[in-house]
Structure 1
Amino acid sequence: MSEQETEHREREHRQRVLKGATIITSIHTSEIPCVIRNQHANGAELKVAADVVVPERFSLYVPVDGVAYEAVLRWRRNDRVGVQFVGQGPKPRLHYG
């Protein structure tokens, strides 16, 4: 990571939250339950089961926000993953919460 990227990350405030969410890999394949531990405008840190395979790209549905964020996996350490939001949409039609 460049010095400029590190500076940007340090300036970006992460709000500590505790929100239930679902990683939606595909309408036909699977949903992975997770918890959002902290969140900012461009991404979040999620807690997932340590043995779960998290795809490189997915939708992250957050029921309390009523939003499905389009997310890209940026890092993983045991049961924690960092994601970058690259877009968002409304609640997925076939998912409830």
Structure 2
Amino acid sequence: MSNKDDRREHRNRVLKGATIITSITNSETTCTIRNQHAAGAELKVPVEARVPAEFLLYVPVDGIAYRSVMRWRKNDRVGVQFTGTEAKPRLHYG
């Protein structure tokens, strides 16, 4: 079994709505989590969306905001690493 196959086993395919929240401008970008694991996730974002290097990823169904660092981007896909969690952000109205 190759490492790629091994990695895929630990990554749960999901389709969760989420919001990228940037504290600098208090802006929000809606996105979809395509797969998620304990250390990070792959997001689908609008191609034209600006995604900062660090942001909060608020996931309403989890009730958690993940502190996230962007690791890679290709078109409408973004790979993020989670660096911690926070409660639901105060600036999020959803």
TM-based fold match above 0.5: yes
Asked whether the 8 Å contact 2:65–2:87 carries over to 1, the reply is: yes
Deviation, 1:27, is 6.7
Which residue identity does 2:30 align to in structure 1?
P
- One of 73, 79, 82 as aligned partner of 1:85: 82
Q: What TM-score do the two structures reach when normalised by structure 1?
A: 0.85
Mapped partners of 1:86, 1:67: distance in 2:
13
Give the TM-score normalised by the residue count of structure 2. 0.88
Q: Which residue of 1 aligns with 2:92?
A: 95
Q: Deviations over 1:24-59 (max 9, x none)?
A: 001743101000000000000000001111000000
Cross-structure match for 2:66: 69
What is aligned with 1:38? 35
Q: Which runs of 5+ in 1 are unaligned?
A: 1-6
CA distance in 2, matches of 1:8, 1:72: 22
Matching residue's letter, 2:54: R
Letter in 2 for 1:26: S
**CA RMSD of the aligned region, Å?**
2.0
State the shift of 1:8 in Å.
9.0
Aligned length: 92
**Counterpart amino acid of residue 41 in structure 1:** A
Structure 2 CA distance for partners of 1:78 and 1:96, relative to 1, 3 Å: same
Q: 1:13 — aligned with what? A: 10
The 1-side partners of 2:72 and 2:65 are apart by 20
